[in-house]
């Protein structure tokens, strides 16, 4: 690239250093504007008035040169970087919970932010070190995420930093938390079975009520509320508390069907439990949904669509939750302790009849 002088700002176009890459000076020279104009356009400074033609010239020069803004200079100038920190236990490596990151990245990108993600695998030393690194980069805020809905102790390092807890709840009720609406999801799942005509609806939960696991408590509360609204009572004889794995789904579905008055429908509080229930019903010669309807919870996309028949289930709103978490940070991340519960959508497949099932 030869040297040249532009007519508007006097900037001299020079060949970028192979080590440093193109500079704002180079963008100004190629666009034929001043360096100050480039800075104001790229930073979208409020009150700056430029014609669309000028903006287009700057953006084209940026694209042609492959110019990137100096993140360190941004930190010095504004006190924060253009990044949001995302710290999770095993969220990034979970096949279905990865949608949380997808939603967070999507919303961050819309506001010109990048997401710096660390997957700690529950290692508290790694978590501590990663948070220190993120805060040293002056991230605009931190999303503290968990693989499953539980109460968490938020690290002290996040005090005074715009933060939000995702897919869990801050035990101290200090930092905003974004969770799935477990009770409404349990209610919708059970009501779907009731609307199909079932009156003997069993439940296999993913934990005991004594565990205080929010997902187990909420889904059971929704199940109970739907039954009561339908004029029914919760029958302990057709409620089981497993561990959320296929083995307990298999075991407890067999137990339920062996009772004197077996259910005609089973609400499994996650899809892995439903998978086990499918196996039990197949072994017993029961057809789904003709003999027994089954509904799950999670919409685990590596599992639910591939069961035979496809599993009707509740979808955890991971993308929406990730988006909302970043939105709260963009709004300022005030430490108000609010808990926002997002609705789980019913995903219809083929494990529940449309209507008129025999009681």
Q: Which CATH code of 2.60.40.420, 3.40.50.2300, 3.40.50.300, 3.30.160.150 fits the domain covering 79-181+318-342?
A: 3.40.50.2300
What is the architecture, at CATH level 2, of domain 182-317?
A: 3-Layer(aba) Sandwich (3.40)
4-69 to CATH, choices 1.10.260.40, 2.40.10.120, 3.40.50.300, 3.40.50.620: 1.10.260.40
Is residue 311 within 8 Å of 304, Cβ to Cβ?
A: yes
- Give the residue carrying structure tokens 């057809």: 287
pLDDT greater than 60 at residue 238: yes
Which residue in 291, 252, 289, 292 sits closest to 270, CA to CA? 252
251 backbone dihedrals φ, ψ, rounded to 5°: -60, -50
**Pick from 49-58, 182-191, 226-235, 298-307: least confident:** 49-58
pLDDT value at residue 104: 93
For residues 137 and 18, give the distance between their C-alpha atoms in angstroms, rounded to a whole number. Answer: 26
Altogether, the residues listed in the chain come to a count of 359
Q: How far apart are CA 77 and CA 65, in angstroms?
A: 24
Instruction: Say what the alpha-carbon torsion angle 118, 120, 121, 122 is, to the nearest 10 degrees.
Output: -140
Model pLDDT for residues 145-155, shown as the tens digit of each residue: 988 898 999 99
* pLDDT tens-place string over residues 35-91: 778 877 776 655 567 788 888 898 898 888 877 665 444 543 454 558 899 998 876
Buried b (16+ CB within 10 A) or exposed e, 80-98: bbbbbbbbbbebbebebbe
Q: What is the pLDDT of residue 26?
A: 87
* Tokens read off for 96: 């279905």
How many Å apart are CA 326 and CA 333, to the nearest integer? 9
Q: What angle do CA 6, 12, 17 make, to 5 degrees?
A: 140
Name the token pair of 196. Answer: 């199909």
Nearest in space to 223 (alpha carbons), one of 266, 179, 160, 254: 266
Token digits of residue 55: 């903006």
Q: What is the pLDDT of residue 96?
A: 65
Looking at residue 68, what is its pLDDT?
A: 64
pLDDT of residue 310: 98
Q: CA 233 to CA 218: how far, in whole Å?
A: 17
Residue 225 pLDDT exceeds 80? yes
At residue 333 the predicted structure's pLDDT band, cuts being 50, 70 and 90, is: confident
> What span, in angstroms and rounded, lies between the C-alpha atoms of 69 and 347?
43
pTM check: above 0.85: no
From-to residues of CATH 1.10.260.40 in the chain: 4-69
The residues pairing with 294 across neighbouring beta strands, listed in sequence order, are: 266
pLDDT at res. 245: 95
């Amino acid at each position: 690239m030869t040297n040249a002088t532009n007519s508007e700002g006097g900037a001299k176009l020079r060949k970028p250093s192979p080590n440093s890459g193109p500079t704002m000076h180079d963008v100004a020279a190629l666009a034929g504007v001043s360096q100050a104009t480039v800075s104001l356009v790229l930073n979208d400074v409020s009150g700056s008035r430029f014609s669309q033609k000028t903006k287009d010239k700057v953006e084209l020069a940026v694209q042609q040169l492959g110019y990137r803004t100096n993140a360190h200079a941004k930190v010095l100038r504004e006190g924060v970087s253009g990044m949001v920190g995302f710290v999770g236990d095993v969220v990034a490596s979970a096949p279905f919970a990865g949608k949380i990151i997808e939603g967070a990245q999507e919303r961050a990108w819309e506001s010109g932010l990048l997401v710096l993600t660390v997957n700690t695998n529950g290692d508290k030393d790694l978590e501590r070190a990663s948070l220190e690194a993120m805060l040293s980069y002056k991230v605009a805020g931190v999303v503290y995420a968990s693989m499953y809905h539980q109460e968490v102790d938020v690290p002290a390092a996040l005090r005074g930093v715009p933060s939000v807890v995702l897919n869990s709840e801050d035990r101290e009720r200090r930092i905003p938390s974004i969770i799935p609406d477990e009770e409404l999801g349990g209610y919708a799942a059970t009501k779907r079975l009731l609307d199909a005509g079932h009156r003997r609806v069993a439940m296999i939960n993913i934990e005991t009520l004594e565990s205080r696991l929010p997902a187990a408590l909420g889904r059971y509360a929704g199940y109970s509320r739907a039954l009561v609204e339908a004029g029914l009572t919760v029958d302990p004889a057709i409620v089981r508390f497993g561990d959320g794995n296929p083995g307990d789904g298999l075991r407890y579905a067999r137990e339920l069907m062996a009772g004197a008055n077996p259910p005609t429908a089973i609400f499994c509080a996650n899809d892995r439990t439903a998978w086990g229930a499918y196996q039990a019903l197949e072994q017993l010669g029961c057809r789904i949904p003709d003999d027994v309807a089954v509904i799950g919870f999670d919409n685990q996309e590596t599992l639910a669509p591939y069961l035979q028949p496809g599993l009707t289930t509740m979808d955890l709103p991971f993308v929406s939750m990730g988006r909302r978490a970043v939105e709260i940070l963009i709004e300022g991340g005030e430490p108000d302790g609010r808990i926002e519960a997002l609705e789980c959508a019913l995903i219809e497949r083929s494990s529940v009849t449309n209507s008129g099932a025999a009681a």
